[in-house]
Amino acid sequence: MKRFFVHLLVSTFLIVVISTILNATVYQSFDKTPAAGNILLKEKCDELAGSDYNLIALGSSKIFRQFDAQLFSDKCKERGIKAFNMGVDGTYPPETYYALQHILSINTNVKYILLEVRAFDAEEYANWHSIRSYYWFNDSRLNDYLRLENEQKLPFWRKAFATTGGIIALLDQNLNLGKGQFCLNQDRLGFPPPESFKNNQGFVPIVSNEDELPIDSEAYNNMEKISNDAFNEHFANLAYYHLNYLNRLKEMAAKKNVKLIFVMPDNQKAWMYTQLIPIFNHLQDNEKIVISSAQKFPQLYLIANKANLTHLNLKGSEFYTTCMASEFLRITK
């Protein structure tokens, strides 16, 4: 047993020493701003800085692939809006919340931010030990991560998985391990080159034709049923930490004279609505956009407007953006 502990101490010491040397000689060249581990998000932050965009939409692929910033700008031209799409595939809370804080810290002309709010989900196993999963981690953010995860009504094994992933991410960050394994998530998703988003104010739709339309109508129609059931149900559980965190973000934005508007994504699974609907019920009407209801926005659930089970195609994105613009104009009168 004594030999084991000696070996453990020696191994730990060597890892720390090697990591320190690498950090001083190699890793210091990495950009460690809040957007460093997310290549496309960093590109978009660079594009935003110093531009004349005064409204951005920030979130996951639900924003990236569905929010047509040019169309939104046209619909809201009476307000002098020039919008930019800051969405990135596979970018979820709390990463998007830290990205928001970074955006508020740089020099921009942004006056409105549409922030996609999603229920917390654990980082995929394939992304553990990659910069993409931990570049934003530190001690206080691990606390956010664990509290967001603990609030959800998840099976024990999913909470254990999320907790393990968070601890590994913090260790990787503090020990500077895994730096060479860069952004697995982005590599796997196959992000488009920067030129494509620069030509469309950050928007890159999922283009499909009639031959590629979904054929499993039961699965797609079930998304509509999930939405209808969710919005007709009374949820007693409220994720207080998540709600309070959103209110803190709103206060941070207000100090920068930025109006923060929270957006509930469409075409989600039942567990997502279980947490989101109670949160949105506690937000003021003038600080939220909810176009997730299949009863109120049926076009977003039509198979002909779908690219896949949870995303809209180009035609669907037009409906999505038009609905977003209409709601934005309504709540910002």
Q: pLDDT digit string (tens) for 306-316? A: 888 889 999 99
pLDDT at 197 over 80: no
Span 43-79, pLDDT tens digits: 888 889 889 999 999 999 999 999 999 999 999 999 9
- Is residue 30's pLDDT more than 50? no
Q: Do the beta carbons of residue 317 and residue 66 sit within 8 Å?
A: yes
Whether 169 and 123 have beta carbons less than 8 Å apart is answered as yes
pLDDT in tens, 217-276: 677 778 888 888 888 877 778 889 999 999 999 999 999 999 999 999 998 888 888 889
- pLDDT recorded at residue 272: 87
CA 16, CA 248: separation in Å to the nearest integer?
Answer: 36
CA angle 58, 62, 65 (to 5 degrees): 95
The per-residue pLDDT for 162 is: 80
Q: Which residue has the higher pLDDT, 216 or 58?
A: 58
Task: Output the CA–CA distances (angstroms, integers) from residue 49 to 6, 73, 84, 102, 158, in the order listed.
Answer: 51, 19, 12, 11, 38
Task: Tell me the pLDDT tens digit for each residue of 155-189.
Answer: 787 788 788 777 777 777 777 654 444 443 443 34
> Measured between alpha carbons, how far is 211 from 35 in angstroms, rounded to an integer?
38
